[in-house]
Amino acid sequence: MLVTVHNVLTKDELASIRKLLDGARFSDGRLSAGLTARKVKKNEELPVNDQLHQQLNHIVMNRLLQHPVFQSAVLPHRVATPFYARYTEGMEYGNHVDDPIMGPMNARYRTDVSMTLFLNEPDEYDGGETVIHTQTGEQKIKLKAGDAVTYPSGSLHHVAKVTRGTRLVAVSWIQSMIRDPAQRELLFNLHKTRETLQNKYPDDEEVVKIDHAYINLVRMWSEI
């Protein structure tokens, strides 16, 4: 399930992030990749030990974790600290599947959902689409600054070559409370229907039953 999460960041927050990244020193993105991905990865990333990470994460993580669409679509259990990546002209990230387990040995997590948060406007660069391979063909995604896309981590995907300008993104991975992607999709659709009906018919007994069904399905399927 691909879900677009709109307006994760405000214009002021994006301006603060851009100011921080404009003065940052990026390193070779292959340093954070596994053996397979390293062969097809060509980008730059902010080193994880850079002091800017704390400032960036204070902005990004606070907003992301509070976003209602992110919460209902992903049902997060563990959310990884983002990587901040830069793609300049000629850079790309070839076809790959994200590693199933990430994190240090004392804080491992399963990658159920991947997320890309766009940090600059799509007219600032050509190319650079996130391309996700699905059963119905390739889905090319290039969103406005402050928007994010979430998708199953097991999907084959790539980042198209940037042919002009610079692409800036934050990427993260999430271990969901609901491991099965089909169950997450069902719950997300049920949640949206539940909210619509609750707003229209807040005291209706059948709506209350739908609410109870959603709650108990989460309880039944969650792994925490």
> Per-10-residue mean pLDDT for the chain, 224 residues long?
97 97 90 78 92 94 96 97 96 95 91 98 98 93 98 96 98 97 97 96 94 97 92
In order of 29, 53, 55, 119, 201, the CA distances from 49 in angstroms are 14, 7, 12, 20, 51
What is the total count of domains within the chain? 2
Same domain, 112 and 125: yes
pLDDT at res. 85: 97
pLDDT at res. 39: 87
**Is 76:5 a contact under the CB 8 Å cutoff?**
no
Same domain, 82 and 16: yes
Same domain, 161 and 98: yes
Sequence letter at residue 170: A
Same domain, 59 and 10: yes
Nearest to 98 by CA among 195, 191, 173, 201: 173
Same domain, 147 and 98: yes
User: Which CATH number is 147's domain given?
Assistant: 2.60.120.620
Give 189-216 pLDDT, tens digit per residue.
Answer: 999 999 999 999 999 999 999 999 999 9
Boundaries of domain holding 192: 181-221
pLDDT at res. 32: 78
